[in-house]
Amino acid sequence: MKKTLTKAQVKTAVEEAFSKVKNLKGGKNANYIPFLANIDPDLFGLSLTLPDGEQFNLGDTEYKFGIESVSKVLTAILILKEYGAEGVLQKIGADATGLPFNSIFAILLENDHPSTPLVNAGAISACSMVTPQGDSDAKWKKIIDNISDLCASPAPVLDELYKSESATNFNNRAIAWLLKNYNRIYDDPDMSLDLYTRQCSVGITASQLSICAATIANKGFNPVSKKQIFAEELAPKITTLISSVGFYQHTGDWLYTSGIPAKSGVGGGVLGVLPGVFGIAAFAPPLDEAGNSVKAQAAVKAVMNKLGLGVFNGDQIEIAD
Ligand code: GLU
């Protein structure tokens, strides 16, 4: 069915979602990375970007928080650009693990079968794939430039977060070397892990993330910079990856209740993509037990439910002035 929404309706839905969720309690900041444990738990931002670049921003949408796992989506885009959809499928895969984001068990279970660039193992492997092989500085430049391109503005590494995470990432070190054991890492494991840790430590705003989400929703065309960042045919591949594992072991429940493919990070960010319609992002530090922001989830879900939208609804959505 064809469904027309006005910009005013979308704006109202974002405002209502923000007010409804603002005082929601529950969840805890990630504490396995010391820096994240100390972020103000009351920060909260909600941002929606339309295909023409217009944004609705509410709350702390200019606060730079740790992008963490949401960065996995951005670097997945980079390796899709470099290796194509088939190359990424062969080298990493596109399967959900059904297990927590940092699961070692998933690697042991699927050592003959690749998983996805959107869990820690696949994301470290993705960093190892970024070209040119063996050149950490050149690889990093590609990763960070790709983040700026997708977000239409630069994003700095939060040095303290990088140090905090580097000093405590013992589980990820085990993952990197286990990948080496199974020939699922394609460059030096320690270097690949360091690139991954650095990309997770990038400070991003909810406004930037919603521009990135809108770029994916717009088939690679960034509505703010007006540049084509990746080939149109990669957009459904990216959204598929997000749909299948974006909320880790809660992904099915999330998609079932919200209707929007979204990716979370332990810094409290959520990036949601409604293909052809809009990009949305929310940020609030306290997380549920799977590592997904309690308020960000609730806010994105409230916008979707209020507007009666869902990626599987079969509607053709038009947003009119
Ligand atoms: N840097 C975090 C880690 O590797 C990211 C996890 C996440 O956001 O889910 O543990």
Q: Which helix (H) or strand (E) holds 319?
A: strand 316-320
Q: What is the C-alpha separation between 180 and 178, in angstroms, rounded?
A: 5
Instruction: For residue 144, give every residue at least 6 positions away whose Cβ sits within 8 Å of its Cβ, in sequence order, or none.
Output: 154, 155, 157, 199, 202
User: For ligand 1, is residue 69 a contact (CB within 6 Å)?
Assistant: yes
pLDDT, tens digit, 9 for 90 and up, residues 6-59: 999 999 999 999 999 999 999 999 999 999 999 999 999 999 999 999 999 999
Q: Classify residue 313 by its DSSP letter.
A: S
pLDDT of 309 over the 90 cut: yes
Q: Is the CB of 201 under 6 A from ligand 1?
A: no
CATH assignment of 69-200?
Answer: 3.40.710.10
Q: Give me the half-sphere count of Cα atoms (radius 13 Å) on the Cβ side of residue 257.
A: 12
Q: Which pLDDT value is given to residue 114?
A: 59
Residue nearest to atom 4 of ligand 1 (CA): 120
Ligand 1 mean position to 233 CA, how many Å? 28
Q: What is the dihedral sign for C-alpha 121, 123, 124, 125?
A: positive
Task: Name the CATH code of domain 2-68+203-320 (choices 3.40.710.10, 3.10.310.10, 3.10.20.30, 1.20.970.10).
Answer: 3.40.710.10
Domain boundaries, the chain: 2-68+203-320, 69-200
Q: In what order do the strands lie in the sheet with 262-264?
A: 55-59, 45-49, 278-283, 269-274, 262-264
| Prediction pTM value | 0.97
Q: Are 54 and 210 in contact (CB under 8 A)?
A: no
Name the band, by pLDDT with cuts 50, 70 and 90, for residue 248. confident
Cβ of 68 closer than 6 Å to ligand 1, yes or no, is yes
pLDDT at 1: 86
Identical fold for domains 2-68+203-320 and 69-200, yes or no, is yes
Residue 182 to residue 306: CA distance in whole angstroms: 46
In 3D, which of 293, 251, 271 has the Cα closest to residue 29? 293
Mean pLDDT of 284-292: 94
What is residue 302's predicted lDDT score, i.e. its pLDDT? 98
